[in-house]
Amino acid sequence: MIELDRALGHGHAVAVAVGDPDEAALAELHPDERARARALGPVRRREWVAGRRALRRALAAIEPDPAGALAAAPLLADERGRPLVPPGRVGSISHKRAVAVALAAAERGWTVGVDVELVAPRRIDVSARVLTPAERAAVPAAPGLARDRAVILAFALKEAIYKAIDPHLARHVGFQEVAVWPAPDGSVAVEPLAPWGLAVEAAWLALGEHLVCTARARRG
């Protein structure tokens, strides 16, 4: 599990442990969210509930809610699977095994995306699918954790970017449509290779064995 409840460059991020939701956890949800959770299988329910709890906390952190507008709004999903949030705010969810992470921000023209991944040795090399030829040339060539970590980081950045750009493009976006150039300080140069017509930013953070990647996008 990771500790995360703070403002990052693209919004406020919150992590919640994925586990069997108890009464207190379910009480954090809107009744429509509880109904949705009940309809899910046990594995999916655990991550879905943790994601909604994280998103509620992240949304509450960016803006006081004296009128109870957030409490009254169910955070369900649109037809593409994107989490729905109250007007004037944007949000995104990711989960990986024991942890769910959400990112929320005031809208201000931007949409946001988040992805959490666990750094661990990979049995399958996905670099040819995830990385562009130039990116492949830049990651460590020798098999091992350093290479796996670099591939996982690029993967997570592109997943976060996908979630941020999907509201604008509403189509499948291939991994070869963008190159990402992460720096050790958590900054990332994003190089769209397709005519998205979007301004896109990304960043990353290492928390123990986890990588948390955030992105935001807007027209322009």
Binding residues for ligand COA (CB under 6 A): 47-48, 51, 77, 80-83, 92-95, 115, 158-159, 161-163, 166, 173, 175, 177-178
Q: Cβ closer to ligand COA: 80 or 141?
A: 80
Instruction: Please answer whether residues 76 and 30 qualify as being in contact, where contact means their C-beta atoms are separated by less than 8 angstroms.
Output: no
d(CA 61, CA 211): 22
Q: Cβ closer to ligand COA: 106 or 170?
A: 170
- Least distance to ligand COA from the beta carbon of 33, Å? 10
- Least distance to ligand COA from the beta carbon of 213, Å? 10
Q: Cβ closer to ligand COA: 177 or 201?
A: 177
- Least distance to ligand COA from the beta carbon of 142, Å? 26
Question: Pairing state of beta strands 99-106 and 210-219?
Answer: unpaired
Terminal alpha carbon distance of the chain: 37
Q: Give the residue closest to ligand COA by C-beta.
A: 81
- Least distance to ligand COA from the beta carbon of 132, Å? 11
Amino acid at 174: G
Q: Cβ closer to ligand COA: 35 or 144?
A: 35
Q: Cβ closer to ligand COA: 115 or 135?
A: 115
- Least distance to ligand COA from the beta carbon of 146, Å? 22
Q: In what order do the strands lie in the sheet with 99-106?
A: 5-8, 11-17, 99-106, 89-96
d(CA 154, CA 128): 12
Residues 6+ apart with CB under 8 A from 118: 96, 97, 152, 209, 210, 211
- Least distance to ligand COA from the beta carbon of 139, Å? 17
Q: Cβ closer to ligand COA: 77 or 134?
A: 77
- Dihedral over alpha carbons 16, 18, 22, 23 (to 10 degrees): 40
Residues in the chain: 220
